[in-house]
Every structure is written in structure tokens, then in C-alpha cells.
Structure 1
Amino acid sequence: MKLDNGTQRPGLVRREVAVRATAAVLGLSAVFGTGLATAAHADAQATPTGIVLGVGANESQRVVSWYSSAGTAQVVQIVPTSKLVKGQFPANTVTFPATVTANKVNGGYNGHATIDSLKQNTSYSYRVGVEGQWSPTYSFKTQDFNGNNFDFLFFGDPQIGSSGNTAKDGAGWMDTLNVALAADPQSELLVSGGDQVETANTETQWDAFLAPDKLRQYPWAATIGNHDVGGKAYEQHFWTPNTDRSAPYYNGDANTRSGGDYWFKYKNVLFIDINSNAYASGADAAHINYITNVVKTQGAGVKHTVLVYHHSIYSPADHANDGDNQLRRQDFPTAFSKLGVDLVLQGHDHSYSRSYLIKNGKKANPDEQPGAAEVFQGPGGVIYVTANSASGSKYYDLTAPDTTEDPNYGPDPLNPKSHWANSVENQEHVRTYVKVQVRGNKLVVEDIRSGTCAAPNAAVELGKVSWCGPNSGATAAQPVGSTVDKVVIHTNNSKADVDASAAAEAAWLQ
């Protein structure tokens, strides 16, 4: 019943025994978790679909979520892959009971279970369901829990269905995941910029979004976008850790819409994810209070703090001067600087941008050059990144700074075509994703092309845009895997600190 010799906590063993005993007495019609409303007979088999692997509260946890055809008791079984016997799960496989609830979207059910006590540097295999009705077997691998170095990938707005062709959007999304993880198979997290689908409760779009098996092999850190809030599907598909679904962090009626702010820690990084769809009636102050409390209670010992939310406040394209962005450019940056935030990851604008180091809502160093390959954070410096479309379903073209819309979001004196906050703004109408390398006191942020002008690229294929390639199509598309932008961010340091550290290391090596 152990995940591996010497790695399982006592509570896990007790849970396994309790589950088996209850199942034996009640014939697998027991009520697992507080949300299961229906006790059914064992012959009412549940077929699991839409399985997705999610992040847990820390690196030793994962959350598995799925949809189900029945409300019967269901479990996740997990075992080190090396313990499988000719592909079969052994008799003493660890079982985690699921919380299963009636589904407010399609009349079925949705379930989730938290896997804990995972061991580092181990390949695991898992399946969902009940005896006689198991899902296929999926696998994932944990890595070093104690190291300071790891990679994670950030994806902007797949928004499956937004081109009008769900199949083409899904093909682009799957290709981006395949390209990104073939290039960096040791990545440990997949982080969402929001807008998984075009229409919140359209399950055919969710089916296409969840089709890639990579979403069952790598943990998805979900973010809610404005296209995800029209119903309950988002939170039924993704159960997130440490989530506060109180009214200030929600969007509308909690009985019919999704939302919430949450956090998790992964190695030396504190991730905080907020529902930026909630912005009326003092919600910005509530979000800031939430982030402040999380940093205060959870920030000890972490090297980096990363915020994730959907609505990019330094948007370079269609949403640059949206009213909520104009307000949040006043509400957020000073708070983020004071809280020691290092990196802010955003979506919504279907284009790429990387800000200068921003301190208290202003450029921290007036001499920082556009496109600088290396920056030194200093106290209060924050980098804001907007991710382009990961699926190719929709692109927004860059807009010129317009002070008639917002006098505080004018042109960059060093590059007047761009907004003052942004070091880089880019749109080529090709799919991209963002790779973040955590390296001690450095964060390396890189925007990488996952496609070209060729299919799969729905917006180009369907004529939604009239050109494709760098320089508004004047230059040929660059190859898959090529870099749009890359910056090394020295966090928690000034340049003098970095130079002194480099000098000390050089002296030690002599």
C-alpha cells in the first residue's frame, strides 16, 4: 500500500485501509468525500472522461480531475511505474478516494482526488475509476524536490473554438504542447494564461482542449479567463489547491459561474493565481489583500514570487486601453513592487509583450534599453509578460500608444511605436509559448515559436488575419523552436551584488 518503501506517510496507509474496508462493506456504493450526493450500486458503472493532471499544494502532490457518467464512489490508483506487473496494477496499489459531485453543466458528474506523499525522481502510473471500469493508464514523473533549478512553461489563451473551427484550434493547441515538451521534456509545470475555451460550458471545446495526453502527464496550473467564467465548467474540470472562492474573488453567482484565487509552492517559487475577472466593487483591493496575506504567510524561504492572472495590464494590442486595465495600472503595480513580486504572467491580449522592470508603476531604470537581454531587478522591480496565442485560434495586432484613450499609457521615449512600459512587443500571427527557467537567483524568460504560417494555424488558415511572419509579414516565418525574445532576470539582486558574486566565484576557481 506504499508509494515506495519508506516514502508514505502513516495517514496514507490508514486512508487506504479505510477505503478498502468501506468498499468491502458497501460494495463500492460508499460516499467518498463530502460532495458525493448519490450512493449507487456497484453495477452502476462510472465512465471517466476529460482526465487532467493538476498541480497540488507543493511538489509532492498532484490533483487529478475528471468528468464521470455516474455518481458512484470513484478512486485514483497510483503506483511507481516500475511496480507495474506486465502493465497491470499490483494488488497493494495505493488508492485515493475522490470527491464526486453532480455536474451543473451536462447533468453528469465531476470528480477530483489529491495524490500526496509522492517521492522525488520517480515515474508514476495512475488510473481513474472503479474495479471493472478503469480509465486508460497514464504516467508522470517527479523530479528533484530540493533543487533550486527547474523549468516551467506558460501558455496564452488556447481559446478553443474562437476561430469558428474547434478541430483546427485543437490541432494547433496539441501541436504547441508537443513542440514545447519535445524541446523541454524535463519541464515540471504547465501554467495557464486563461481562456482555455471560447464558450465556458461548451463541452466539445473542452474535449478538444483536454485531448492532448500531455495534460495527463504534466501538471496544469489552471488560470480562469473571461471566456471561462460563463458557467461552472472551469472549476469542474480543474480542482486547484488552496483556493478561496469567496465573493470578492469570484465572478458572479457562485452557483452558476466559476472563479477564485489560489496559491501553491513549487520548490523555491511561490505561485499566486488570481481571478482577474472579478474587478468590480473593491475586488482589486481584495485581490491585493489576498496576495499580501499569501506572501506574508507563505513567502518565507522562497526565492521567487510569481503572479498569474488573465487580464494583461500592460497589454500591447486590442486590450491596451480597456477600462479595467487602465484602473489596474493604477491599482496593482505599487502593491506588487512592495510585496517583492518578481514576475507577472498574463494572457488575454493574444500577442506577446515583455515589460521593462517596473517599480511602483514606473520604469525602474530610465536607461534600460528596449529588448535588453539581461536585467538586474533591484528592490521593487517587476517584469510583466503577456503571452501570445498558444493555439493559433485568434491573434490581436499590436496597437500604437494612444494618449487620448489613456494619458498615462503613452509611447516609449526609446521606441515610440511601443507603449512606455514594454521593452518588447511582438505579433507575427504564429503560435508561441513562454519558457521560464528558474536558476537560483535568476529567472530566464523566453518566448518561443511553436508554429509557422503553415497549418495548424487556424487564424491564418481561415483568413482571420491577412498576413503572417515577422515585420507584419515582410519577413519569412522563422522556424519552429526559434526564439522571439529572451531575457535573463537577476532577481533579489542589484547589478553590484551580481558582479560581486561573480568576482567571488572567479576568485574561488583560481
Structure 2
Amino acid sequence: MKFDNRTQGPGLVRRRVAVGATATVMGLSAAFGSGLTATAHADVSVSATAPVTGIILGVGATESQRIVSWYSSVGTAQTVEVVAISGNSAKHIVTFPATVAANSVNGGYNGHATITGLKKNTTYSYRVGTKGKWSPTYSFKTQDFKGNFDFLFFGDPQIGSSGDAVKDGAGLQDTLKVSLAANPNAELLVSGGDQVESANNEAQWNAFLASNKLRQYPWAATIGNHDVGGKAYEQHFWTPNTDRSAPYYSGSATTQSGGDYSYIYKGVLFIDLNSNAYANGADAAHIGYVTDTVKKYGSQAKYTVLVYHHSIYSPADHANDGDNQLRRKDFPTAFSNLGVDLVLQGHDHSYSRSYVIKNGAKANPSEKPGAAQVEQGPGGVIYVTANSSSGSKYYDLTAPDTTEDPNYGPDPLNPKSHWANSVENQEHVRTYVKVQVRDDKLVVENLRSGTCAAPNAAVELGKVDWCGPNSGASAAQPVGSAVDKVVIRPSSSTGNGQGNGHGQSNGNGHSNGNGNGHSNNSYSNDNKLTTTAPAAWLQ
């Protein structure tokens, strides 16, 4: 579908977060246990003037933890109250005291609390605040702490980059709605970075935080180049096991966000890097962090997944940026040697899936473009770049250019693509990546969460002049359809790396087929029991 490329509408529209609806209480029989304070008397009040806004649920160090972060207009003592739901009733409250600090962005305060001692297969409700001034109640559920699971990966929402934060926010909200309706048992929402366009613009953060899905499913934040320039990112997201040493910042820790962090979840070791820090030995420091983390905790994990913002095998505008050329030299051999399985990236607002890469080269020269199944083999790594999850901005694919980087030329099997990439795709529609973690494989799918219709701000506002496969020559495919799918086998038992070169995407000519710191690195489950008061506020 082609468009008349005319700009429409005004610039950024400001709005506040809607934090209304009380979460539905679902019945699951389980007991809650924790080693923290029991509430003596239940306070059933919910205040219309509660000082708390911007609540978001984050990942903890393990399956039995979650971290809640928020903004507050007051610096008084605050808590998170949590209750396990058994059947249709709430039995007991457990109170988690919060850390509240002055907010350097808006003059207020920001708070966080780590919920510990969660039990498997249990629904919890929680609220934030202080006596007489409580937030609305939200719910989340845990699942089994071992075995198979799915998680979702979201590329650059970058709310505000279209010039209309409301439209951008609507696109992200729709992607969250669509993806979680299709995958209600997904256990993690993993970020590719660039939550917002302007690091300290709280109107953009409000639009990013608007969906209640971000209070029901844990968001694993990643710092993008648009997030890094202020402290709002760190104040909105408290992350587990975070090392905030100087090499993990690209500038002053006083004015910027930064840090590398990690967590382990059902046998997957996730390591999240601040790729904005790359110069002056920072890449070596990142490799050191990954090395130390794998050495300490790799024995507990079947898979290792790295997440950072800057796509080193970028297919679009950032393909030959100087910083990416440096990362292409610094990272791949180390990642192969450390046994990394999957690398998830953003930044380039387009989709790509690499061949199996070992030590910075294609591991199997006979692996075909768009192969539906690949054999990973020792040292083999798959690199995935996610497209925009909000529709705020897209970058068109670029042709390989050896005058810019002689080491990042065309794929001999498909010269329109870069040599590292099995699939490159741009359709100017919103997508997200689903990763299925199984005992004998990883399954990676790029799925459409929108079409050319609204919400799709870049299309609506005339930022692009076509939409759909084949540079708009073909109609947009339906929501939920797959752009790409690959089964990654860690052994040689079934994979042959051959594929048929046709895949599922149609692209625009390049497609190959149709916190702030708990720095103790402690991954422990806390299962102490404590007697708590009746949760009258949920009755």
C-alpha cells in the first residue's frame, strides 16, 4: 500500500498516566510465604489523591521475585502490600517496605520495593502507598518455577519519536494487548531499549506506562540511546543485580542512566548490557561482566540470553555506524567463547535474524537464507533485531556497503542482505518477537501486532510513504501472522541448517522469505513463612 507522504497533525501531545481499574481477582489455590513484615490491621481505603503514579512491575533476581517501581509526590515512608489469592478470597497481607528517594527529574520522589518469597502457580494482588493513600490494586500471577516457558521481546517503543506521544503510546498499548491476548501465559516482557524519545520527558514516560499490562507482567528494561541521557530511566526501573561501576556508563552517573544487570529465570540466564557505553574500554568491561556472570551462574542455566540495545548486525540505518563497527569487532568471538545462545537487540527499527554466527563468522556456509530450523553447534550464536513495537518510527533496510565497512558486505547467497543475516524485513507494521524456551530447542518468531491501519503513527502521520510487504506492493498481512520463525537446535540431533530460502515474510526486497542496583549478584529463592493479617481491602 502506497501513501501520499504528507505530514499531519500537531506535535507532541502531553497526557497523564491512567492508573484506574482495579485488577480482577482470579482464583488459584496456593499459599504465600515471605520473610517480611506482617500487617497488623488491614486498611481498606483507596485514595483518589494517592501520591503514587507510574507504577510498573519489573523482573526480580529469580522466578520468586518481582520488583515494583513508581513515582511519588511525597517522600514519606511507603510500602507495597501483597496478598495471595486462594479461590475467590484473599487471606493475608504481606508488607514490603519501599526505598524512597528524591527524584532528580521532576522534583518529586521515586520508590521501589522487591517482592520476595513468591510461590509458583499463584495469583497475587498488590497495591502501593501508605495508610489512607493507596494506589489502585493490580494483580499478577506466577507459573511453575521449572520447565518450558515463553517470553516476549519488544523493540523500540520510542514514545514521542513520531512527534505525537499519544499516537505512539496507543501503538504500544495495542501491541501489548494483542501480544498478551495471543500469549496470556507469557512470563516476561523483555525490552530492546528506547522506551521514550527524550530521556527525561515525563509526558512520554506517562504514555509509555499507560497500559495496565505493565503492572500485570514483569518488564525487563533495557537502556537505549534515547533513554540514556537522563536519570528518568533509572528512576522508573529498579533492576536486580545491577553493577553501576563507571565503565557501564557512557557519561556521568550523576546525569545519565547506566549499568549492566542479570537475572536467572527457569533455567535461562539473562544478561542485560548498557551498550551505550562502548568506548574507552567499556566493551571489554561488558565482556568481563558477562564472563563473571556466566562463571558464577552459568551452571544453573541451560541457555544464556544477552539483551542490549545496539544491533551489531543491523540491517538498516545503523548498519555501518562507527560504534556498531567497533562492537562487531569486540563482541562476537567473546560471546561464542562464553556459550551465549541468543542475543536480542533493538535500535534499528527493522527486523533481522542472523545466521548461526561463531567467532564473528557464519558458522555453516551451507545454511540457507530463511532456514526454518538451524543447528546451533558449539559456539554458535543467533542475533535478533526487533522492529518497532509502537509504530512510532521505522528505518528502511539498506544495501550492504563495503565502502563504509569492508567487513560487512553482502550475503553470497542473497546479495541484497548483509552477510550475517538470514532474514531482513521491513513492512512498516508493528511487530514483536516471541521466544519459546524448551528443553531441546529455542523457537524464535517475529509476529505482526498491527497492520497499516491505526494505531501506526509513522504511517498515520506520513513519516513513511508505503506500508506492507514488497515495499507496499502487497497487502498488509493479518495481525498475529508470522514474519519469520526459526527453531534453534543446540545439538546436531535434528537440525541441518539447510532451509528452503522462503520463510514467511515478504519484506521490501531484502526479506529472505515470505534499578538501580542490587549489586550482590544473588540468585536465591526466599521461602520463609510469616503470619499475616486478613486482606480486607480486597474483599
- Relative to the length of structure 2, the TM-score reads 0.84
Corresponding residue SS for 2:86: helix
CA gap of 1:331–1:143, structure 2 versus 1, over 3 A, is same
Considering only aligned residues, what root-mean-square deviation do their CA atoms show, in Å? Answer: 2.0
Residue identity opposite 1:142 in structure 2: T
Q: How far is the alpha carbon of 1:301 from its aligned partner?
A: 2.8
Distance in 1 (CA, whole Å) between partners of 2:224 and 2:84 is 35
Match of 1:8 among 30, 33, 40: 33
Instruction: Output aligned runs, 1:266-415, within 5 Å.
Output: 266-415=265-414
Look up the match of 2:529: none
Residue identity opposite 2:129 in structure 1: G
Look up the match of 1:133: 133
Distance in 2 (CA, whole Å) between partners of 1:405 and 1:218 is 42
Note the alpha carbon deviations across 1:475-495, whole angstroms, 9 max, x for none.
Answer: 10000000000000012x124
Match of 1:72 among 73, 76, 87: 76
CA gap of 1:83–1:113, structure 2 versus 1, over 3 A, is farther
Q: How far is the alpha carbon of 1:441 from its aligned partner?
A: 2.1
The answer as to whether partners of 2:30 and 2:86 remain within 8 angstroms in 1 is no
Note the alpha carbon deviations across 1:218-276, whole angstroms, 9 max, x for none.
Answer: 00000000000111000100000000011001121111110100000000100000000
Note the alpha carbon deviations across 1:309-338, whole angstroms, 9 max, x for none.
Answer: 000000000000000110111100000000
CA gap of 1:352–1:201, structure 2 versus 1, over 3 A, is same
Instruction: Output aligned runs, 1:96-495, within 5 Å.
Output: 96-147=96-147, 149-491=148-490, 493-495=491-493
The answer as to whether partners of 2:443 and 2:486 remain within 8 angstroms in 1 is yes
CA gap of 1:143–1:426, structure 2 versus 1, over 3 A, is same
Corresponding residue SS for 1:81: strand
Note the alpha carbon deviations across 1:80-117, whole angstroms, 9 max, x for none.
Answer: 123775xxx66x41000000000000000000000010
Instruction: Output aligned runs, 1:86-101, within 5 Å.
Output: 92-101=92-101
Corresponding residue SS for 2:226: helix
Distance in 1 (CA, whole Å) between partners of 2:50 and 2:394 is 40
Look up the match of 2:527: none
Q: How far is the alpha carbon of 1:463 from its aligned partner?
A: 0.3
Distance in 1 (CA, whole Å) between partners of 2:88 and 2:236 is 28
The answer as to whether partners of 1:46 and 1:72 remain within 8 angstroms in 2 is no
The answer as to whether partners of 1:46 and 1:70 remain within 8 angstroms in 2 is no
Unaligned runs of 5+ in 1: 22-42, 499-510
Residue identity opposite 1:464 in structure 2: K
The answer as to whether partners of 2:30 and 2:119 remain within 8 angstroms in 1 is no
Distance in 2 (CA, whole Å) between partners of 1:50 and 1:121 is 27
Corresponding residue SS for 1:171: helix
The answer as to whether partners of 1:303 and 1:441 remain within 8 angstroms in 2 is no
Distance in 2 (CA, whole Å) between partners of 1:274 and 1:326 is 17
Unaligned runs of 5+ in 2: 1-27, 42-46, 497-539
The answer as to whether partners of 1:46 and 1:71 remain within 8 angstroms in 2 is no
Distance in 1 (CA, whole Å) between partners of 2:29 and 2:289 is 37
The answer as to whether partners of 2:54 and 2:206 remain within 8 angstroms in 1 is yes
Corresponding residue SS for 1:163: coil
Corresponding residue SS for 1:280: coil
The answer as to whether partners of 1:79 and 1:94 remain within 8 angstroms in 2 is yes
Residue identity opposite 1:16 in structure 2: T
Q: How far is the alpha carbon of 1:206 from its aligned partner?
A: 0.3
Note the alpha carbon deviations across 1:437-457, whole angstroms, 9 max, x for none.
Answer: 001121000000000000000
Match of 1:53 among 50, 57, 65: 57
CA gap of 1:70–1:487, structure 2 versus 1, over 3 A, is same
Q: How far is the alpha carbon of 1:146 from its aligned partner?
A: 1.7
Note the alpha carbon deviations across 1:21-52, whole angstroms, 9 max, x for none.
Answer: 9xxxxxxxxxxxxxxxxxxxxx9x86110000
Aligned length: 466
Residue identity opposite 1:123 in structure 2: T
CA gap of 1:5–1:153, structure 2 versus 1, over 3 A, is closer
Distance in 2 (CA, whole Å) between partners of 1:401 and 1:256 is 37
Look up the match of 1:505: none
Corresponding residue SS for 1:227: coil
Look up the match of 1:81: 85
**Structure 1 stretch displaced more, 325-334 or 248-257:** 248-257
Distance in 1 (CA, whole Å) between partners of 2:208 and 2:347 is 17
Residue identity opposite 1:155 in structure 2: F
Corresponding residue SS for 1:151: strand
Distance in 1 (CA, whole Å) between partners of 2:383 and 2:314 is 10
Distance in 2 (CA, whole Å) between partners of 1:75 and 1:6 is 21
The answer as to whether partners of 2:30 and 2:121 remain within 8 angstroms in 1 is no
Residue identity opposite 1:55 in structure 2: V
Kindly indicate which of the two structures has a greater share of residues assigned to helix.
1
Distance in 1 (CA, whole Å) between partners of 2:226 and 2:440 is 36
Corresponding residue SS for 2:388: coil
Note the alpha carbon deviations across 1:322-372, whole angstroms, 9 max, x for none.
Answer: 001101111000000000000000000000000000000000000000000
Distance in 1 (CA, whole Å) between partners of 2:229 and 2:270 is 25
Distance in 2 (CA, whole Å) between partners of 1:130 and 1:454 is 43
CA gap of 1:6–1:395, structure 2 versus 1, over 3 A, is closer
Q: How far is the alpha carbon of 1:394 from its aligned partner?
A: 0.1
Look up the match of 1:29: none
Corresponding residue SS for 1:93: strand
Distance in 2 (CA, whole Å) between partners of 1:497 and 1:466 is 40
The share of aligned pairs that are identical, in percent, is 78
CA gap of 1:496–1:481, structure 2 versus 1, over 3 A, is closer
Corresponding residue SS for 1:454: coil
CA gap of 1:51–1:84, structure 2 versus 1, over 3 A, is farther
Residue identity opposite 2:275 in structure 1: S
Corresponding residue SS for 2:206: helix
Distance in 2 (CA, whole Å) between partners of 1:272 and 1:307 is 5
Note the alpha carbon deviations across 1:268-309, whole angstroms, 9 max, x for none.
Answer: 100000000001110000000000000000111311000000
Distance in 2 (CA, whole Å) between partners of 1:58 and 1:307 is 16
Note the alpha carbon deviations across 1:191-213, whole angstroms, 9 max, x for none.
Answer: 00000000000000000000000
Note the alpha carbon deviations across 1:139-197, whole angstroms, 9 max, x for none.
Answer: 001001022x0000000000000000011000000000000000000000000000000
